[in-house]
């Protein structure tokens, strides 16, 4: 029951081709392998290629202790683990055979990398935050930020987000 809440309902009746099952297995193995080989990441608790919720597979990591503050290094390594499923697909099947299976991972890393740059001050741009504490939602914050920042700053933010993502992807590919 706990897995159902955390990972979503199993969809054992879903028919997946052997190739998709194989891609999913390599994708999830990529997450597990990079998590295991990267010191300072949370340990892998469970890996499955049984479809759950919207995902065809899942790698679950659980921290060994509660964390109230996260370091830049920890966040970068977390992004590397998220990108490692995509990296595994690229290495095993080739660049032209990378799938849409990493969409959830990519959404997570983009949001996390953007937070590192715009909220946590963890980039080359500098130790400051664009977070407006009066903004009630991320959408409002982005609209306000877009209206109040220069095009150059917006480009610098995009560049810093890309640099973090590229750096993390290199970690994933190297493992």
Q: Which two tokens stand for residue 1?
A: 């029951």
Check: CB of residue 157 under 8 Å from CB of residue 117. Answer: yes
Largest Cα–Cα separation, the chain: 52
Helix (H), strand (E) counts: the chain: 6, 2
Active site residues: 28
Q: Which residues touch 5 (CB under 8 Å, ≥6 apart)?
A: none
| CA atoms 61, 65, 67, 70: torsion sign | negative
The torsion angles phi and psi of 44, rounded to 5 degrees, stand at: -75, 130
């Amino acid at each position: 029951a706990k897995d159902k809440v955390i990972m979503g309902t199993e969809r054992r009746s879903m028919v997946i081709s052997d190739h998709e099952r194989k891609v999913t297995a390599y994708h999830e193995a990529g997450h597990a392998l990079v998590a295991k080989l990267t010191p300072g990441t949370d340990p892998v608790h469970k890996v499955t290629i049984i479809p759950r919720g919207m995902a065809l597979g899942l790698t679950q990591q659980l921290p060994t202790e509660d964390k109230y503050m996260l370091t830049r290094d920890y966040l970068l390594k977390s992004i590397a683990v998220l990108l490692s499923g995509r990296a595994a697909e690229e290495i095993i099947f080739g660049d032209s055979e990378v799938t849409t299976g990493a969409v959830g991972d990519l959404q997570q890393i983009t949001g996390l990398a953007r937070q590192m740059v715009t909220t946590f001050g963890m980039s080359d741009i500098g130790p400051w935050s664009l977070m407006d504490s009066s903004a009630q939602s991320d959408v409002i914050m982005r609209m306000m930020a877009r209206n109040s920042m220069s095009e150059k700053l917006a480009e610098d933010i995009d560049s810093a987000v890309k640099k973090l993502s590229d750096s993390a992807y290199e970690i994933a590919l190297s493992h």
